[in-house]
Every structure is written in structure tokens, then in C-alpha cells.
């Protein structure tokens, strides 16, 4: 394919209807403060991992809510669980627990498979 | 007939201003076009932020206007106004002639007509409603789709007819964000199985206790907030509504099917206000609302001597702001009458 310079363009649209949002529902239930996020970006601004990689906890929150699972897994690995984000969040989201739970959710999914 | 003050408009502002002026011992006539008083308030069910029943506020206002110095003339509008030797002579639609020292303009606002924003399909798709339509459904305790089923997925579109050059209104109507949040909560309470999505450009929760309501909507009622301006709405074969929106926080377009859409209609200068601005030669601003002589200390003052403003005829205001503004108008009028004597 590359020889001819063709590639298949993936649709960029977030397809809310077919996306699996079970992780979002899981977090809403186990860490209700997850619902309070207003996507302000305070967490990403202070995040050590975000300073050196393309990781954004704020963006991760959106992706989880919309069920964009492809991108979630790789992002989750970048967090170092330092907890700085929890200190700055204006809405009192327990961000570290969100990440820990999200990582565990992945494990339980893998175990289920 | 002679009176000290004529109040034009019998909504919240007109009632409050008239009542306060009468309490101070002056004679007041209120001219209300419609057959009932209360203005836009009668179309609302519960009020933000504490979900007070609008009837409670109407009850308060009906009490305020109960005064022997106060005449309430409903189904009466202004036909013409003349001013001679400092006295305004008003001819009403019922043929009455009223001479008055001062006038309070309390002509309120009109809700933006949602069909003007054609791309949202109001009046075209059967399950697109306005915020005022939803209030009626709440009052009737029945929120249903046209086919009689209960909506499962409901979208609230913010800024319909506000902050939109295409609608001719670049200003923010200030109260529709909190209205959306309030209505989202009411929907979730009435239809616990439903999912509610607010599509917003900015969440403007500037009033007392508004932000707390927003937090409650997220935490307690799981209302979803998606930042992005809905550009258009379509209908699928199955009757579902498809919104076109960018999820600006994800930086990608979003496709979503909804059963029902509620448009958060903005506030505009009222038709009645426009007529009065011509009859009395009153200045209006770029936003078409009446223009006060000063934004800081003269918001009740007009460019005409003896003519004062009360309430949303100068800008969008909440009920508590309207009541305070009308009280302030009463103070200005009373001072004017005292100094004229
Ligand atoms: S806990 Fe993770 S997301 Fe939060 S600041 Fe530390 S590295 Fe960033
Ligand atoms: S700081 Fe808190 S509210 Fe802001 S984006 Fe991060 S988690 Fe959300
Ligand atoms: S209050 Fe909110 S919905 Fe209303 S015009 Fe302003 S930003 Fe838009």
C-alpha cells in the first residue's frame, strides 16, 4: 500500500452510540467524585508526567466519559501516581483513585477475557 | 383621569415598582396589555436556584399590588403619549386618557422564537422543544415524546438566540445556563431512566447558588456536560434526532442520537418595549434593549425626564434582580415626584 501512497483514513468522529462507556459507569459508581470534573485542566497543568509526555489527565477524563477506549489504555500507563493533580483539582475529584480504579478495571477486563 | 405615576407593563417589575410607589402614598395606574398580570413568570414552573414554585412569587407580587392607591388596568395598552408642561397625557387602547407626572417602563422581555434558528429544527422535527415548552410539560407533570413514549436521551442546547451573531444577538442572556441545569435536574428526577446532555459553549453560572446547582446536577443527577456549539440537528429514519457538534474538549466531532432536544431560548427586547420606545422617543442600545443614562448609577433612568425603567426591559435579569431593580425604580420615581412638587 505504502508504495502507492494510499492509506485508510479512520473517521475522527466520536461515535457515542457504538462506544463502550462501561469504564465511565464503573468510575461514576465507585468514585462518584469523577462526575464532578469540569474539564478545567488544572490537573494536567500541574502533572509531572504531562510536562514530559503528551499525557493529559483532563483529556483522559473526556475520553473515558465518551468511551474512547482505544486511547485510554496507553494513557493510563503514563501516570506516576504522585497525586499532585488531586491537590489542585478545584472540584475535589479524587483523581488518583480514578486512575487506580481505571487501571484495575483494565485488569479485570483482561482477566475476564 | 389624573395619577402620579403610570407603570407600563404588569409583569414582575411593573408589579413590584407600582406596589412600592403606592405604598409610599402615590397614586399609580398599571397598564397591562394581556388579560392577566405576571408577565413571563406565568409560563414558568419552578425557578432556579432553589426550585421555588413560580406561583409563590406570583402570590407575593399579587400581594404587593393590593393597594387602594393602585389601579391595575389589564387588557390595556398605550395608544399614544403627549407631553405638555411636564405632564404626560396617555391615551389607552380602551379610550381612556390618563395624565401623569411620571412613567415607569416595565415592558419586560420576549423569549427568542426558536424557529428563527431553523437549523435546530424547532417546528420542523416533532421532538424539538423550547425551554418554555418544557416548563409547561413540567407544570402538567408529563414529559413525553409526540408518540406518547418517554424520552430516554435528552439534549439541552445552550445559547439559542444568544451569543450568536447569526441571530442578531451577540449578548449573553445570562439565565439560560442555569435554566438548562435546573431543567436537566428536573428531567432526571421525573425520568430517572433518562440520560441528559447539556451542550454548552461556556457554563455561565454567575448568580448566587448557581454553581452549586451545576455541581449537584453532575454529582447527584449524573447530568452530562459536553462543551461544543451544536451547529445543526437532523432527523434519522427511526425518528431520532442527530446533533452535529464538536466535542471541543476532545478536539473531535461527536455523533449522538437523541429522543428529545430542548432549546435554551434567550431573552430579547419585547415587542411592547419597541412600541413604547417609539412612542416616548426612548434610546435603545445595540442590543435593542432600552438604554439607561448610566450603567453604574443610572440604570433606572431614561433619556426622557420623568420616565424610568424597571426590570428586564433594559437587560436580561433573574427574578430577584428584577425585583431589586423595580424597587430601585420606585425610589427614583418617588424622589422625582418629591422634587417636582
Ligand atoms: S498522579 Fe498521575 S496524573 Fe496526577 S499529577 Fe501525578 S502523574 Fe499526573
Ligand atoms: S483539575 Fe479536577 S476538575 Fe479540573 S480537569 Fe482535572 S479532574 Fe477535572
Ligand atoms: S447564560 Fe449560558 S446559555 Fe444563556 S446565553 Fe449565556 S452562555 Fe449561553
Structure confidence by residue, pLDDT tens digits, B290-322:
999 999 999 999 999 999 999 999 999 999 999
With a cut of 60, say whether residue B40 has pLDDT above it: yes
| pLDDT score, position A112 | 45
CA distances from B164 to B146, B158, B262 (A): 29, 11, 17
| pLDDT score, position A33 | 96
Mean pLDDT, chain B, rounded, equals: 97
> Is the Cβ atom of B177 under 6 angstroms away from ligand 3?
yes
ipTM over the 0.90 cut-off = no
Structure confidence by residue, pLDDT tens digits, B230-284:
999 999 999 999 999 999 999 999 989 999 999 999 999 999 999 999 999 999 9
Q: Residue B117: pLDDT band by 50, 70, 90 thresholds?
A: very high
| pLDDT score, position A108 | 55
Residue A17 at interface with chain B, using a CB cutoff of 8 Å: yes
Structure confidence by residue, pLDDT tens digits, B330-341:
999 999 999 986
Q: Residue A3: pLDDT band by 50, 70, 90 thresholds?
A: low
> Is the Cβ atom of A57 under 6 angstroms away from ligand 1?
yes
Could you tell me which residues are beta bridge partners of residue B308?
Answer: B104, B301
What are φ and ψ of residue B194, in 5° steps? -85, 160
Rounded distance, CA A105 to CA A73, Å?
Answer: 10
Structure confidence by residue, pLDDT tens digits, A20-46:
999 999 999 999 999 999 999 999 999
* Closest among B222, B218, B208 to B175, alpha carbons compared: B208
Beta-carbon contacts of residue B137 (< 8 Å; ≥ 6 apart): B129, B143, B144
> Is the Cβ atom of B204 under 6 angstroms away from ligand 3?
yes
Q: What is the mean pLDDT of residues B114-120?
A: 96
Q: Are strands B260-265 and B46-47 parallel, antiparallel or unpaired?
A: unpaired
Name all domains of chain B by residue range, CATH numbers in brackets.
Answer: 2-108+270-340 (3.50.50.60), 112-266 (3.50.50.60)
With a cut of 80, say whether residue B197 has pLDDT above it: yes
> B265 near B177, Cβ under 8 Å?
no
Could you tell me which residues are beta bridge partners of residue B98?
Answer: B90
* Closest among B340, B287, B275 to B315, alpha carbons compared: B287
With a cut of 60, say whether residue A110 has pLDDT above it: no
| pLDDT score, position A11 | 83
A65 contacts on B by Cβ (under 8 Å): 224
| pLDDT score, position B261 | 98
| pLDDT score, position A109 | 53
B219 contacts on A by Cβ (under 8 Å): 32-33, 35-36
A16 contacts on B by Cβ (under 8 Å): 254-257
With a cut of 70, say whether residue B220 has pLDDT above it: yes
Lowest model confidence (mean pLDDT) among A108-112, B24-28, B161-165, B190-194: A108-112
**CB-nearest partner of A14 from B218, B255, B257:** B255
Chain B: residues touching A (Cβ < 8 Å): 203, 215, 218-219, 222, 224-225, 227, 247, 249-250, 252-257
With a cut of 90, say whether residue A4 has pLDDT above it: no
| pLDDT score, position A113 | 35
How many residues are present in chain B? 341
Q: What is the mean pLDDT of residues B164-169?
A: 94
| pLDDT score, position B85 | 87
Architecture, CATH, for domain A31-112:
Orthogonal Bundle (1.10)
Q: What is the mean pLDDT of residues B99-108?
A: 98
Lowest model confidence (mean pLDDT) among A69-73, B43-47, B196-200: A69-73
Instruction: For residue A39, give how far its alpha carbon lies from the nearest alpha carbon of chain B (Å).
Output: 8
Q: Where are the domains of chain A?
A: 31-112
> Is the Cβ atom of A42 under 6 angstroms away from ligand 2?
yes
Going by alpha carbons, the residue nearest to atom 3 of ligand 1 is A79
Amino acid at each position: 500500500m505504502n508504495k502507492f501512497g494510499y492509506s485508510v483514513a479512520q473517521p475522527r468522529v466520536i461515535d457515542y452510540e457504538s462506544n463502550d462507556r462501561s469504564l465511565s459507569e464503573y468510575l461514576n459508581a465507585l468514585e462518584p467524585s469523577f462526575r464532578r470534573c469540569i474539564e478545567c485542566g488544572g490537573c494536567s497543568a500541574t502533572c509531572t508526567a504531562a510536562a514530559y509526555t503528551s499525557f493529559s489527565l483532563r483529556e483522559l477524563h473526556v475520553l473515558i466519559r465518551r468511551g474512547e477506549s482505544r486511547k485510554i489504555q496507553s494513557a493510563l500507563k503514563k501516570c506516576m501516581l504522585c497525586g499532585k493533580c488531586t491537590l489542585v483539582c478545584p472540584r475535589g475529584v479524587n483523581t488518583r483513585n480514578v486512575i487506580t480504579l481505571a487501571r484495575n478495571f483494565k485488569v479485570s477486563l483482561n482477566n475476564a477475557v | 383621569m389624573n395619577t402620579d405615576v403610570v407603570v407600563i407593563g404588569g409583569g414582575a417589575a411593573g408589579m413590584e415598582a407600582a406596589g412600592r410607589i403606592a405604598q409610599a402614598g402615590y397614586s399609580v395606574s398599571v397598564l397591562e396589555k394581556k388579560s392577566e398580570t405576571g408577565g413571563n413568570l406565568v409560563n414558568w414552573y419552578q425557578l432556579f436556584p432553589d426550585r421555588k414554585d413560580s406561583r409563590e412569587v406570583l402570590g407575593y407580587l399579587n400581594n404587593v399590588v393590593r393597594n387602594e392607591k393602585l389601579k391595575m388596568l389589564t387588557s390595556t395598552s398605550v395608544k399614544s403619549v403627549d407631553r405638555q408642561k411636564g405632564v404626560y397625557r396617555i391615551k389607552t387602547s380602551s379610550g381612556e386618557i390618563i395624565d401623569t407626572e411620571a412613567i415607569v417602563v416595565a415592558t419586560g422581555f420576549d423569549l427568542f422564537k426558536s424557529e428563527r434558528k431553523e437549523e435546530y429544527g424547532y417546528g420542523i422535527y416533532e421532538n424539538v422543544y423550547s425551554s418554555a415548552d418544557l416548563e409547561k410539560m413540567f407544570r402538567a407533570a408529563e414529559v413525553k415524546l409526540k408518540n406518547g413514549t418517554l424520552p430516554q436521551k435528552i439534549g439541552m442546547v445552550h445559547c439559542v438566540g444568544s451569543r450568536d451573531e447569526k441571530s442578531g444577538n451577540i449578548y449573553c442572556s445570562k439565565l439560560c445556563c442555569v435554566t438548562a441545569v435546573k431543567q436537566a435536574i428536573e428531567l432526571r428526577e421525573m425520568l430517572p431512566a433518562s440520560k441528559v446532555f447539556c451542550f454548552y459553549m461556556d457554563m455561565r453560572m454567575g448568580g448566587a447558588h448557581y454553581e452549586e446547582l451545576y455541581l449537584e446536577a453532575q454529582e447527584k443527577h449524573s447530568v452530562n456536560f459536553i462543551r461544543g456549539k451544536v451547529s445543526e440537528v437532523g432527523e434519522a429514519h427511526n425518528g431520532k434526532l442527530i446533533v452535529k457538534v464538536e466535542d471541543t474538549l476532545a478536539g473531535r466531532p461527536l455523533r449522538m442520537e437523541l429522543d428529545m432536544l430542548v432549546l435554551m431560548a434567550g431573552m430579547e427586547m419585547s415587542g411592547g418595549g419597541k412600541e413604547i420606545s417609539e412612542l416616548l422617543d426612548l434610546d435603545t442600545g445595540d442590543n435593542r434593549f432600552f438604554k439607561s443614562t448610566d450603567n453604574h448609577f443610572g440604570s433606572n433612568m431614561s433619556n426622557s425626564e420623568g420616565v424610568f425603567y424597571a426590570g428586564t426591559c433594559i437587560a436580561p435579569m433573574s427574578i430577584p434582580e428584577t425585583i431589586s431593580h423595580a424597587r430601585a425604580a420606585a425610589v427614583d420615581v418617588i424622589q422625582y415626584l418629591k422634587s417636582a412638587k
